[in-house]
Amino acid sequence: MTKKEAPVDEHAWASFEAEALPHADQLFRVAMWFERNRQEAEDLVQDTMTQALQSFHRFQRGTNCRAWLMTILQHIRSNRRRSRFRSPVIDDPNDRIAETIPFVPPLPERLTDEDILGALARIPPHLQEVIVMCDVEEFSYKEIARTLAIPIGTVMSRLHRGRALLRQQLRTPADRRQKEI
C-alpha cells in the first residue's frame, strides 16, 4: 500500500462507501478466523478494500457485494500463501471420498459456542473455507466456486465432507480426542 493509487471520483467513492465499506467488519471476522493473527487480518482486509476501491467500476450492481469482496480477499490470501511456500499448494486429493465418512451417532444436546468453533478449527482449512462461506456467510454454491476458484462440484463435495467431519468432531468426546492427539 505504499504506492499512491489513481484518484477515485467522488461519486464512485460515495457508492463504495455505501455499498462496500459496511462489510469491512464481517470481512475482518472471516480474515481473523483464517489468519489467527489480528495484524495480518487487518492487513488482509485493508488490502482487500484497497483493491476493491480501485476496481469498484467492475462491481456489478445488484449482485452480492460481500461475495465480491470475499473473492478479492481469497485471491489475496492465495497469492500470499503461494509467495510463502516454495512448492505449489496441492489440490485436495480427498475431494471424492465424502462417502467414506462413517455414520456417527447424534450430536450431544448441549453445545457451546466454544465447542462449535473448536470443532470447526480442527477440520482441514480448505473444508473450513466452504463451511464458513456457505453456512456462516450464506453464499451460494456459485459464489463460493467463484470466490475460491474451484468447480461447483468441488464446493459440494467439500461442503459434504466438511459438515460430516464437523459433526464427527462434535460427537467425539474431548477426552478421546486428547488420547488421539
CB contact set of 64 (below 8 Å; sequence gap of 6+): 139, 143
With respect to other proteins, which residue has the nearer C-beta, 79 or 138?
138
Closest by CA to 153, choosing from 163, 145, 161, is 145
With respect to other proteins, which residue has the nearer C-beta, 22 or 82?
22
Interacting residue with other proteins among 2, 58, 63, 88 (CB under 8 A): 63
- Alpha-carbon distances, residue 33 vs 38, 41, 69, 78, 177 (angstroms): 10, 8, 16, 15, 22
17 three-state secondary structure? helix
Interacting residue with other proteins among 17, 57, 82, 96 (CB under 8 A): 17
**Is 1 a binder of other proteins (CB under 8 A)?**
yes
**Euclidean distance between CA atoms 104 and 1, whole angstroms:** 49
Residue ranges that bind other proteins, judged by CB under 8 A: 1, 4-5, 7-8, 10, 12-13, 15-19, 21, 24-25, 28-29, 32-33, 38, 42, 45-46, 49-50, 53, 61-65, 106-107, 111, 113-114, 116-117, 120, 131-132, 134-136, 138, 140-141, 156, 159-160, 163, 166-167, 170
